[in-house]
Chain A
Amino acid sequence: MSLLEVKQLKVWDSSTEQVLVANSSFQLAKGHCLAIVGESGSGKSLTCKAIMRLNQAKVQQSGSIVLDGVDLSLLNKRAMRGYRGKRICMIMQNGMRAFNPSRPVGAYLGEVLARHYDWSKEEKLTRIGAAMTSVGLKDPASVMRSYPYELSGGMLQRVMIALSIVMEPDVIIADEPTTALDAVTQFEVMEQLAKLRNRLDCAMIFVSHDLHAVKRIANDVLVMKDGEIIERGTAADFFTRARHPYTRQLITAKQSLSRQFNQLMGGASVAQG
């Protein structure tokens, strides 16, 4: 049985009547990871935000979003707020911009935890501290005292992952979680995300332009173009038997790029040796 089921999701801009996501349906089972790929502006982020009902006021949506038998689109604001951060966690693209610049990270985390749990201050500290250590943040106390500008993008990304470890959500939505990072940090953050999914056994929606990362983490893949889902299937099928011309183009572009890259690197090592 699927944990999250999105049915006929339509998102449009009420000021221009322009349809941004047309009739999107997909489902996600517990422990599975669904990757959404597609070119820039194809509606990936809008879909993610629509699940949490967090699009701007002028962007409207219809359709049903059923999480564990509850239709989120029918909930009142207060009940919806209870789901956000607790049952559905978001991991943002750019860690440096995801935190309020004028508050220490710890104060913010404390506030979020207080929204969903009535833990004592010490309990909050030990839990978030343990989660931070487990994602490789060595000095949780100093991270919590720091302001966002004092930490790196990768560290802030880990802070978000640590928060979702404490929250133990049903669904994690990661919208291009590694795009703003350098290659090494990208690899480490991907590692943490994969660990997170195994550890919590939660469902994950993973938006990325990085097909390597998709191959690593995803069970299923959705390809979007111009607000529509044009191809769907398991990750294995996606890389071997993609039918849609656009998807094949995407994959061959990727393959020829990495072949060139390998040739370049191989050439360099030959020259060195």
Chain B
Amino acid sequence: MSLYILKRIGMTVPLLIVISFLTFVLNHLSPMEPVKVILHAQGVPTITEELIAETKAKLGMDSPLLIQYMDWLIASLHFDFGHSYVTGIPVWSMLGPALLHTLKLVLVSSICIFGLSIVLGVICAIREGRWLDLSVRSLSFLLTAMPAYWLAALLAWYFAVKLDWLPTSGMSDGASYVLPVAVLVIGYAGLYFRIIRSSMLSHLNEDYVLYERACGIPESIVTLHVLRNAMQVAITVFSLAIPTLLGSTVVVENIFAWPGLGTMTINAILSRDFPIIQAYVLVLAVAFVLFNTLADVIHAAMNPRMRREH
């Protein structure tokens, strides 16, 4: 088992190198030369050839691409992603806190999403075809079909403006989590509870469930056993949901002015602040790879066959 984990982690290394290289090259694919972007952003009135050459030399941009990449990679490993073109402050000092804020939002949301999905999935599976199952599924269909920005606006108008119960924006205290988390949970729980439900249903039709019942095991315990087996599929999907959530808080963060990654990145994109975009893409890609690996490891740990053979 530990060998399997080591192997699985080993496999991520080449993947991470490819991803980081692509991220780095991204910068060079833009129609505008990076140096010009920097000079524009710094508000230099006239851009002369000498100025370009001088800046290039200063930033090490005149060395070969591969050398530049190596330098950038090594620096990135120390969380040194360079300086923002616009403000000139180190990228990490902007990215770090923003990442932390987004992570908080994602953590709270995913706990709510997974908790709600498991509860709804189990209830709907054991009440399959009854009115409870049908109404939960149609309601969730309705809610998931709503675009996030529309739902966000609706909730903000009702709970923050009309009733004045919750803040409309910012990240001041616990109450400011409610609306953004609600929007994310409504958007995602509808999807994930269905996965739990259908996974539960396929297991409930298995022979072993009939045999457990025929041996006099109470229904509550049979349900627990089935849930445990059904979770094997769901765990993989859930682990991949976390990086997806990290990437999809953009809309919610912008609507509720959450000082997170999404808000920061939109600003960076608008002002072509490449180091920030680069760092953002890298962070997300690494998150995807990490959680993917984590999903495989958890899946293996829950499966007795994998546990014994590796």
Report how far A15 CA is from B210 CA in the complex, Å.
21
Nearest-neighbour CB distance to chain A for B255, whole angstroms, equals 43
Return the contact of A99 from the options B208, B214, B305 (Cβ within 8 A). Answer: B208
Return the contact of A102 from the options B213, B215, B218, B304 (Cβ within 8 A). Answer: B304
List 5 A-B pairs, minimum CB-CB distance, nearest first: A85-B216, A85-B215, A90-B214, A84-B216, A97-B207
Contact status of A100 and B304, CB under 8 A, knowing A90-B214, A92-B207: no
Determine whether A103 belongs to the interface, using a CB cutoff of 8 Å to chain B: yes
Contact status of A115 and B216, CB under 8 A, knowing A97-B208, A147-B308: yes
Determine whether A94 belongs to the interface, using a CB cutoff of 8 Å to chain B: yes
Report how far A160 CA is from B208 CA in the complex, Å.
12
Question: Is the pair A102, B216 in contact by a Cβ cutoff of 8 Å?
Answer: no
Determine whether B211 belongs to the interface, using a CB cutoff of 8 Å to chain A: yes
Determine whether B302 belongs to the interface, using a CB cutoff of 8 Å to chain A: yes
B interface footprint on A110-145 (CB within 8 Å = 1, 0 otherwise): 011001100000000000000000000000000000
Chain A positions within 8 Å of B206 at CB level? 97
B interface footprint on A68-93 (CB within 8 Å = 1, 0 otherwise): 00000000010001111110011011
Chain B positions within 8 Å of A84 at CB level? 213-216
A interface footprint on B273-310 (CB within 8 Å = 1, 0 otherwise): 00000000000000000000000000000111100100
Question: Is the pair B217, A112 in contact by a Cβ cutoff of 8 Å?
Answer: yes
A interface footprint on B194-236 (CB within 8 Å = 1, 0 otherwise): 0000000000001110111111111101000100110010000
Interface residues on B, range: 20 to 34
Determine whether B129 belongs to the interface, using a CB cutoff of 8 Å to chain A: yes
Nearest-neighbour CB distance to chain A for B220, whole angstroms, equals 11
Nearest-neighbour CB distance to chain B for A247, whole angstroms, equals 29
Question: Is the pair B216, A92 in contact by a Cβ cutoff of 8 Å?
Answer: no
Question: Is the pair B207, A103 in contact by a Cβ cutoff of 8 Å?
Answer: no
Report how far A225 CA is from B123 CA in the complex, Å.
38
Interface residues on A, range: 20 to 34
Determine whether A54 belongs to the interface, using a CB cutoff of 8 Å to chain B: yes
Question: Is the pair A111, B207 in contact by a Cβ cutoff of 8 Å?
Answer: no
Question: Is the pair A94, B216 in contact by a Cβ cutoff of 8 Å?
Answer: no
Contact status of A115 and B304, CB under 8 A, knowing A58-B129, A92-B210, A102-B228: no
Determine whether A223 belongs to the interface, using a CB cutoff of 8 Å to chain B: no
Chain B interface (Cβ within 8 Å of chain A)?
Answer: 129, 206-208, 210-219, 221, 225, 228-229, 232, 302-305, 308
A15, A52, A85, A100: residue with the most chain B Cβ atoms closer than 10 Å: A100
Question: Is the pair B207, A100 in contact by a Cβ cutoff of 8 Å?
Answer: no
Determine whether A151 belongs to the interface, using a CB cutoff of 8 Å to chain B: no
Determine whether A266 belongs to the interface, using a CB cutoff of 8 Å to chain B: no
With both beta carbons as reference points, the residue of chain B lying nearest to A80 in the complex is identified as B216
Q: Name 22 interchain pairs, CB-CB below 8 A, sorted by A.
A: A81-B218, A83-B216, A84-B215, A84-B216, A85-B215, A85-B216, A90-B215, A92-B214, A93-B207, A98-B207, A98-B211, A101-B208, A101-B304, A102-B302, A103-B304, A104-B304, A112-B215, A115-B215, A115-B216, A149-B304, A149-B305, A150-B308
Chain A positions within 8 Å of B211 at CB level? 90, 92, 98-99, 160
With both beta carbons as reference points, the residue of chain B lying nearest to A78 in the complex is identified as B218
Chain B positions within 8 Å of A115 at CB level? 215-218
Return the contact of B216 from the options A104, A112, A147 (Cβ within 8 A). Answer: A112
Chain A positions within 8 Å of B217 at CB level? 85, 111-112, 115
List 11 additional contacts besides A54-B213, A90-B214, A97-B206; criterion CB under 8 Å: A49-B210, A77-B219, A89-B215, A92-B207, A93-B207, A98-B211, A99-B208, A101-B229, A102-B228, A102-B304, A160-B211
With both beta carbons as reference points, the residue of chain B lying nearest to A98 in the complex is identified as B211
Report how far A55 CA is from B156 CA in the complex, Å.
49
Report how far A90 CA is from B304 CA in the complex, Å.
26
Question: Is the pair B210, A54 in contact by a Cβ cutoff of 8 Å?
Answer: yes
Chain A positions within 8 Å of B225 at CB level? 100, 103
Chain B positions within 8 Å of A89 at CB level? 214-215
Nearest-neighbour CB distance to chain A for B228, whole angstroms, equals 7
Chain A positions within 8 Å of B216 at CB level? 81-86, 112, 115-116
Report how far A86 CA is from B219 CA in the complex, Å.
16
Question: Is the pair A100, B229 in contact by a Cβ cutoff of 8 Å?
Answer: yes
Nearest-neighbour CB distance to chain A for B229, whole angstroms, equals 6
Chain B positions within 8 Å of A102 at CB level? 228-229, 232, 302-304
Report how far A112 CA is from B216 CA in the complex, Å.
7
With both beta carbons as reference points, the residue of chain B lying nearest to A164 in the complex is identified as B215
Nearest-neighbour CB distance to chain B for A189, whole angstroms, equals 16
Report how far A86 CA is from B215 CA in the complex, Å.
7
B129, B207, B208, B228: residue with the most chain A Cβ atoms closer than 10 Å: B208
Nearest-neighbour CB distance to chain B for A14, whole angstroms, equals 10
Report how far A100 CA is from B223 CA in the complex, Å.
12
Nearest-neighbour CB distance to chain A for B309, whole angstroms, equals 10
B interface footprint on A38-80 (CB within 8 Å = 1, 0 otherwise): 0000000000010010100010000000000000000001000
Chain B positions within 8 Å of A100 at CB level? 208, 212, 225, 229
Chain A positions within 8 Å of B303 at CB level? 102
Report how far A84 CA is from B212 CA in the complex, Å.
10
Question: Is the pair B305, A147 in contact by a Cβ cutoff of 8 Å?
Answer: yes
